[in-house]
Amino acid sequence: MLNLDGAPFVVTVAGEKGGVGKTTVATNLAVYLKALREDLPVTIASFDNHFSVDAMFAIGGSGGHPVSRLFEADAAAQATLGEYGVRFFASERQLNPPDGDTGRLAAMLGASRLGGVLVLDTRPILDYFTRSALAAADLVLTPVKDRASLVNVASLRRALREEGGDEGALWLLPSLIDARLRLREGLGVQEFLELSARERGYQLAPTALAKSPKVESLALGAARRIFPVLTHARGTLVHHQLRELANFVLQRLDATPLPRSRRLAAQGSTYRQSRVRLTRLAGGCPLCGAIPEGEGTWFCEDTARRRQHLVHHSCLVSLLGSEALNLEAVGARLLVLEKPEPGRLQDMPAFLRRYDALGRLVEEPDRVALEPAALQTLLRALTGRLPEELPATRLFLVPGATDSPDCPSGAGYASFVALRRRVLRPWRPCGDRCTKEDRG
């Protein structure tokens, strides 16, 4: 598969044990992948705050967009071209989860045009970010250097299962191997790790990584930059082993017709994000209380107050009339219900605006005036607040069948977010009209 600009093939380097070589593997793997296949886009990001990715890839030490952008739509545009032709996201000192939804990263990547391979380095804990990286992974590489790290793989495998990830994607990589060390009955460390891994039913990558003082010296911090093994330690065994590892990853890539994140997006509601959203939405139509299903539903989001609903088309028609809701007739895709100012509805005009799939306002008429009574009912039902207490407010409404992959209640949420972002763009420089979410 030579995937240049679709969803990326995700390689997650993870393990609960610290100091086993995760970051060394992730950063060097990115360099070797690019060196072996020049036309393949390769991107790297780390959820750790050690800045090793930046020290290896940032050209002239200059930053780039932060790794948190991976959790937003349009990640492809945010990657920065770095050293060795590898694109990267800048590490962040304090990374906060955007929400509790560990399916979000996969959803965003599934809709992204990042392409090629994305290598994700993780922290040695099973936090939100590691779990998100597991949920999105086509391949999970777990370096193990001793019994403790091997025992720890059990909880990683459990987390992979819990996140709906692919257990067959997990491969162990014996790391930091000192070939001189002999254990009981003359057993080498690598043989011991391989035997124990097989006993526990784990797959093993076709290579191991030797412990090398030369490799260790590259990340010692003597220089601000960290250099790859490819350019500064070619004489080592690790050089050949990393090349072998990169070839293994390329084989897996070639054998994967569609990256996992894209498959999930196509399947609709199989990932956790969809399930969580559908569960949250299952409370019934806020206008009549009955459960909306299939055709004849609208997805509504009150972004500022983090509320989402599925609403019956018929309930909306009774308040807004069918003409305002006939988006197809005017080539529109999204409806925005706008209360332009804080204060009482009687004192201000309120509008429905319609936008096309590119986020452009549909002209003629560019806005539909609303009856205050209808607006009152809608705002109250959809925001859960008294309309007069609301600040300037915008609600986003998109029609769609709940079982369609395009519906924002399922996998289509990422494309809804992208459209919402395009719609909000012209509003951004306008200071007090922007809510926090709009700016974010």
Ligand X SMILES: Nc1ncnc2c1ncn2[C@@H]1O[C@H](COP(=O)(O)OP(=O)(O)OP(=O)(O)O)[C@@H](O)[C@H]1O
Residues that bind ligand X (CB under 6 A): 18-24, 48, 124, 176, 209, 211-212, 215-216, 219, 238
Nearest residue (CB) to Mg ion, 156 versus 419: 156
Nearest residue (CB) to ligand X, 216 versus 366: 216
Residue 187 beta carbon to Mg ion: minimum distance, rounded to whole angstroms? 28
Q: Which residue has the tokens 């290579």?
A: 207
Across the strands, what pairs with 46?
121
Which of 3, 23, 149, 207 is the binder for Mg ion (CB under 5 A)?
Answer: 23
Residue 50 beta carbon to ligand X: minimum distance, rounded to whole angstroms? 6
Nearest residue (CB) to ligand X, 28 versus 78: 28
**Residue 21 contact, options Mg ion, ligand X, none, Cβ 5-8 Å cut-off depending on partner type:** ligand X
Residue 163 beta carbon to Mg ion: minimum distance, rounded to whole angstroms? 20
**Residue 382 contact, options ligand X, Mg ion, none, Cβ 5-8 Å cut-off depending on partner type:** none
Q: Is 239 in the site for Mg ion (CB under 5 A)?
A: no
**Residue 388 contact, options Mg ion, ligand X, none, Cβ 5-8 Å cut-off depending on partner type:** none
Across the strands, what pairs with 11?
119, 139
**Size (the chain), residues:** 440
Residue 46 beta carbon to ligand X: minimum distance, rounded to whole angstroms? 9
Nearest residue (CB) to ligand X, 24 versus 393: 24
Q: Is 22 in the site for Mg ion (CB under 5 A)?
A: yes
Tell me the residue number closest to Mg ion, measured at CB.
23
Which one of 41-49, 75-83, 182-190, 250-258 is the stretch in contact with Mg ion (CB under 5 A)?
41-49
Residue 58 beta carbon to ligand X: minimum distance, rounded to whole angstroms? 18
**Residue 216 contact, options Mg ion, ligand X, none, Cβ 5-8 Å cut-off depending on partner type:** ligand X
CA distances from 59 to 25, 72, 115, 384 (A): 20, 24, 22, 49
Residue 50 beta carbon to Mg ion: minimum distance, rounded to whole angstroms? 6
Nearest residue (CB) to ligand X, 104 versus 211: 211
Closest CA to 21 of 296, 273, 237, 209: 209
> Strands 87-88 and 117-121: what pairing?
unpaired
Nearest residue (CB) to Mg ion, 21 versus 116: 21
Residue 238 beta carbon to ligand X: minimum distance, rounded to whole angstroms? 5
Residue 360 beta carbon to Mg ion: minimum distance, rounded to whole angstroms? 44
Nearest residue (CB) to ligand X, 219 versus 288: 219
**Residue 124 contact, options Mg ion, ligand X, none, Cβ 5-8 Å cut-off depending on partner type:** ligand X
Q: Is 24 in the site for Mg ion (CB under 5 A)?
A: no
Give the largest CA-CA distance in the chain. 87
**Residue 295 contact, options ligand X, Mg ion, none, Cβ 5-8 Å cut-off depending on partner type:** none
Residue 147 beta carbon to Mg ion: minimum distance, rounded to whole angstroms? 20
7 phi/psi in degrees, rounded to 5: -70, 140
Nearest residue (CB) to ligand X, 124 versus 321: 124
Nearest residue (CB) to ligand X, 24 versus 269: 24
- The residues that touch Mg ion, with contacts defined as CB under 5 A, are 22-23, 48
